[in-house]
Amino acid sequence: MKKSVQDIENILNSFDGMQRAEVKPFFHTRVMARLEKETEAENSWMPVRKPVWIIAILSFLFLTNIYLIFQQVKQTKTSSSSETSSLQSFASEYHLNSTTNY
């Protein structure tokens, strides 16, 4: 489709009446502040930001781990001693601890 020169002139002349868009004062500042606020909200992976709380939580986890390790070691020692006594009782019950000369 060919447009006539008159149509092209009408289109170009329609831009003559346009004015530059005006924005409210400090519009750019408010938009940037809102964007930064949204970015901070998205990047906050840690709900507790105070170092005191972080240190307290890490200390609690560390002490809990130490307690559980000591409980595991204690349980292992008692189970090994009870295991030895049960083997000895089994051996004495079936007279396996006596030596027999052939």
- Rounded distance, CA 9 to CA 7, Å? 5
pTM of the model: 0.37
End-to-end, the C-alpha distance of the chain in Å comes to: 120
Please say if the pLDDT value at position 76 is more than 60. yes
- pLDDT at position 18, please? 82
pLDDT tens-digit map of 21-58: 888 889 999 999 998 887 766 666 666 667 888 899 99
- Rounded distance, CA 79 to CA 76, Å? 5
- pLDDT at position 83, please? 64
